[in-house]
Structure 1
Amino acid sequence: MKVHSIKEVQLLPLPVQKAWEFFVSPANLALITPPDLGFTITSEVPAEMYEGLIITYTVTPFIGIKANWVTEISHIQEPRFFVDEQRLGPYRLWHHQHFFKEHPTGTEMTDLVHYALPFGAAGNLFAPIVKRRLAQIFSYRRKVLNDLFR
Structure 2
Amino acid sequence: MERFEVSGTVNRPVEQVWAAHEDVHLLERISPPIPAIELINPPSHCQAGARFTVRLKMFPPFVQTDWQVEIVRWDPPRCFVDRQVTGPFLSWEHTHQFSPLTDDTTLIVESIRFELNPLIDGTLVRAALDYIFQWRLRNLVQVLSA
Does TM, scored on the shorter chain, surpass 0.5? Answer: yes
The count of aligned residue pairs is 143
Describe the shift of the 1:83–1:61 C-alpha distance in structure 2 as closer, same or farther (beyond 3 A). Answer: farther
CA deviations on 1:57-103 (whole Å, 9 max, x unpaired) are 21034545310110000001111100000000001111000011111
Match of 2:136 in 1: 141
Instruction: Determine the structure 2 residue equivalent to 1:39.
Output: 37
Q: Distance in 1 between matches of 2:95 and 2:42?
A: 23
Q: Which runs of 5+ in 1 are unaligned?
A: none
Task: Work out whether 1:51 is the aligned partner of 2:53.
Answer: no
Q: Is the 8 A contact 2:52 2:69 kept in 1?
A: yes
Q: Deviations over 1:30-70 (max 9, x none)?
A: 01111121200011321x30110001121034545310110
Taking a change above 3 Å as real, the CA distance of residues 112 and 61 of structure 1, as seen in their structure-2 partners, is farther
Computed over aligned residues only, the root mean square deviation of the Cα atoms, in angstroms, reads 1.4
Percentage identity across paired residues of the two chains: 23
Q: TM-score, normalised by structure 2?
A: 0.91
Unaligned runs of 5+ in 2: none
Aligned equivalents of 2:94 and 2:59: distance in 1?
20
Q: TM-score, normalised by structure 1?
A: 0.89
Structure (1 or 2) with the greater helix fraction: 1
Q: Map of 1:1-150 to 2, 5 A cutoff?
A: 3-46=1-44, 48-63=45-60, 65-104=63-102, 105-118=104-117, 120=118, 122-123=119-120, 126-150=121-145
Query: Structure 1 CA distance, aligned partners of 2:144 and 2:46?
Result: 21
